[in-house]
Amino acid sequence: MIRVVLPPHLRTLARVDGELELEVNTPVSQRSVLDALEAQYPMLRGTVRDHITKLRRPMVRFFACGEDLSHESPDAQLPEAIATGSEPFLIIGAIAGG
Amino acid sequence: MSRVRVLVGTRKGAFILTSDGTRKRWKVSGPHFAGWEIYHMKGSLVDPDRIYASQTSAWFGQIIQRSDNGGKTWNTPGSSAEELKGPDGMPKGESNNFVYDASAETGKPLTTHQWYDGTQHPWEFKRVWHLEPSLKDPDHVYAGVEDAALFESKDGGKLWHELAGLRGSDTGPKWQPGAGGMCLHSILLDPSNPERISIAISAAGAFRTDDGGKNWRPINHGLHSEYIPDPTAEVGHCVHRIALHPSRPNTLFMQKHWDVMRSDNSGDSWQEVSGNLPSDFGFPIDVHAHEPETIYVVPIKSDSEHYPPSGRLRVYRSRTGGNEWQALTKGLPQRNCYVNVLRDAMSIDSLEPCGVYFGTTGGQVYASADAGDNWKPIVRDLPAVLSVEVQTLP
């Protein structure tokens, strides 16, 4: 299982508390994690990445294992610790504005 | 006894204010959707418990929320397990999917509009400014969006498609964003003619369809805007708001960037009715529930000083359809008041006498239960108010 942490506003929208656990097809990448997330929580479609282009929204970031993976290819394999579920995949709302 | 429900959209959430018909004691619920910008909420006239809300965020984009029980609970249409499934059997969750129609069938490819630097710029969806439920069917609702376009949903907000004839009209490349963005903010449905819709865009002007949204034409003849190269141009006017009374749908009222205007021929031509207003700049304009020639505006000092003249918050009422205006001040702050009242932040109930409501960027929502003669704040310290709609309930 892949562990995913949503920003608070998206947890409220998806009506979940704490971390999510998702079944994700291999290879585990940003794209496969987000595909699984949106399949299980359709109300999140369009909030993390664009509906059509599938590009990450500008003020959303992806962190994992102490690294900012936001600019990695959506199809790049995520670290092993994410794939095994020992570390969570963090979806972050950028710190900006009020 | 009748009741009223006031739907307030703010920069940081939604609030619902309710009272009985006396409109003296209010219950405040919220914030709903805390932390999100709620540009607009509006209930269906056919089913007042059906309310649509535009929930937006610079971080997470656009969400459409719907309540089927008068705002007690909310859902994102099409996202529950039993709704609108895709080929994989999962709910489609496309209620926030606003895609400009560039299909060959409509013949309206994704055009460009004028950008701030004078170059052409492709349309890019940003948010929903205004939701207008149909007068007949609670599942049918229109959305005015930024970049300016009109969308509709016929399934309660699950799926949206663009009425592309508007954006694809010949004048599209001349439209340009105002300071707040290029937004379609006013949608007037004609109760006597379901094929006729009038809309307004900042900064393009007003437009009308007489065939249910297939074809549109600008209705800006008579507008005069010194701030554009050709002050009487067909498009390019910064219309802030248009309004009508359902008993006289051919008479339209307009608050423009500067100037208060009226038309008695569905927008074919306009005359200025600013009269004795202390400033004819402002944002909202609305019409009395029972007197179609009684209208309300909130004058603002200027386009660069968005607060009331002399720090005195005054609603102006004309009982003559314009030109002759009376300041309404009882209960409103008459010194050191420097708030703004945004274009969608005024509404009128249909009780007798009618109630008038408006919200400010300072977070106050003021109400008058006697058509504007006397005012009291319902709440004083909300986040900046973006929109106010009132529902009159049985």
List chain B residues with CB under 8 Å of A12.
34
Q: How far is CA B286 from CA B48, B91, B97, B253, B357, in A?
A: 20, 40, 31, 8, 10
∠B13-B364-B134 over CA atoms, to 5°? 55
Q: Which residues, numbered 197 to 236 in chain B, qualify as contacts with chain A under a Cβ-Cβ cut-off of 8 Å?
A: none
The C-alpha of A8 sits at a distance from chain B's nearest C-alpha, in angstroms, of: 10
Residue A81, exposed/middle/buried by CB under 10 A (0-12, 13-18, 19+)?
A: middle
Share of chain B above pLDDT 90, in %: 85
State which residue of chain A sits closest to B74, comparing Cα positions. Answer: A13
- Would the pLDDT of A98 be above 60? no
pLDDT bin (cut points 50, 70, 90) of residue A97 is low
State which residue of chain B sits closest to A10, comparing Cα positions. Answer: B60
Q: Give the pLDDT score at B231.
A: 96
Please tell me if residue B94 touches chain A, with a CB cutoff of 8 Å. Answer: yes
Q: Other C-beta atoms within 10 Å of B107: how many?
A: 10
Residues B26 and B357 sit within 8 Å (Cβ to Cβ): no
List chain B residues with CB under 8 Å of A10.
60
> How many contacts does A have with B, using Cβ atoms within 8 A?
59
Phi-psi region of B157 (alpha: psi -120 to 50; beta: other; left: phi over 0): left
Q: Other C-beta atoms within 10 Å of B348: how many?
A: 25
For A42, the 3-state DSSP assignment is: helix
d(CA B296, CA B2): 24
Q: How far is CA B288 from CA B245, B319, B321, B372, in A?
A: 8, 9, 10, 10
For residue B139, give both structure tokens. Answer: 């599942």
Q: Other C-beta atoms within 10 Å of B179: how many?
A: 12
d(CA B102, CA B99): 9
Alpha-carbon dihedral sign for residues B329, B330, B334, B340: negative
pLDDT in tens, A64-84: 999 999 999 999 999 999 999
d(CA B271, CA B198): 17
Please tell me if residue B57 touches chain A, with a CB cutoff of 8 Å. Answer: yes
| Contact flag B60-A9 (C-beta cutoff 8 Å) | yes
Region B327-352 average pLDDT: 98
List chain B residues with CB under 8 Å of A39.
88, 90
List chain A residues with CB under 8 Å of B34.
12
- The label of the residue with tokens 């007068």 reads B135
For residue B112, give both structure tokens. Answer: 């460009």
**Where are chain A's structural domains?**
2-93
Q: Other C-beta atoms within 10 Å of A10: how many?
A: 22
| Contact flag A9-B57 (C-beta cutoff 8 Å) | yes
∠B389-B393-B394 over CA atoms, to 5°? 170
d(CA B146, CA B123): 9
Residues 6 or more apart from B374 whose CB is under 8 A from it? B330, B331, B368
pLDDT bin (cut points 50, 70, 90) of residue B109 is low
| Contact flag B57-A97 (C-beta cutoff 8 Å) | no
For residue B122, cis peptide bond before it (omega within 30 degrees of 0):
no
| Contact flag A57-B62 (C-beta cutoff 8 Å) | no
Alpha-carbon dihedral sign for residues B89, B91, B93, B94: positive
- Would the pLDDT of B97 be above 80? yes
Q: Give the pLDDT score at B107.
A: 54
Range with the lowest mean pLDDT among B228-232, B309-313, B319-323?
A: B228-232
Q: Give the pLDDT score at B91.
A: 79
List chain A residues with CB under 8 Å of B64.
none
| Contact flag B76-A13 (C-beta cutoff 8 Å) | yes
| Contact flag B93-A13 (C-beta cutoff 8 Å) | no
| Contact flag B97-A97 (C-beta cutoff 8 Å) | no
Higher pLDDT, A77 or B178: A77
pLDDT in tens, B187-208: 999 999 999 999 999 999 999 9
Residues B140 and B190 sit within 8 Å (Cβ to Cβ): no
Region A1-14 average pLDDT: 96
State which residue of chain B sits closest to A6, comparing Cα positions. Answer: B60
For residue B228, give both structure tokens. Answer: 């554009």
Alpha-carbon dihedral sign for residues B99, B96, B31, B297: positive
Nearest to A65 by CA among A48, A53, A82, A49: A82
Q: Give the pLDDT score at A46.
A: 96
Q: Other C-beta atoms within 10 Å of B82: how many?
A: 6
| Contact flag A45-B97 (C-beta cutoff 8 Å) | yes
Domain A2-93 has what CATH class? Answer: alpha beta
Residues 6 or more apart from B117 whose CB is under 8 A from it? none
List residues of chain A with CB under 8 Å from any CB of chain B: 7, 9-10, 12-13, 38-48, 51-52, 57, 59-60, 93-94, 96-97
d(CA B27, CA B25): 7
Region B296-302 average pLDDT: 98
pLDDT in tens, B70-87: 999 999 998 887 787 877
Q: Give the pLDDT score at B111.
A: 78
CA B356 to centroid of chain Cα atoms: 16
Mean pLDDT computed over every residue of chain B: 95
d(CA B7, CA B28): 10
pLDDT in tens, B267-295: 999 999 999 999 999 999 999 999 999 99
| Contact flag A43-B58 (C-beta cutoff 8 Å) | no
Alpha-carbon dihedral sign for residues A36, A41, A46, A52: positive
Q: Which of A41, A43, A91 to mutate to test the interface with B (most CBs of B within 10 A)?
A: A43
Please tell me if residue B92 touches chain A, with a CB cutoff of 8 Å. Answer: yes
Question: How do beta strands B326-328 and B315-318 pair?
Answer: antiparallel
- Would the pLDDT of B127 be above 60? yes
| Contact flag A57-B59 (C-beta cutoff 8 Å) | yes
Q: How far is CA A40 from CA A16, A22, B95, B157, B312, in A?
A: 12, 8, 16, 20, 53
Closest partner CB to B76 (pick from A43, A60, A97): A43
d(CA B382, CA B394): 28
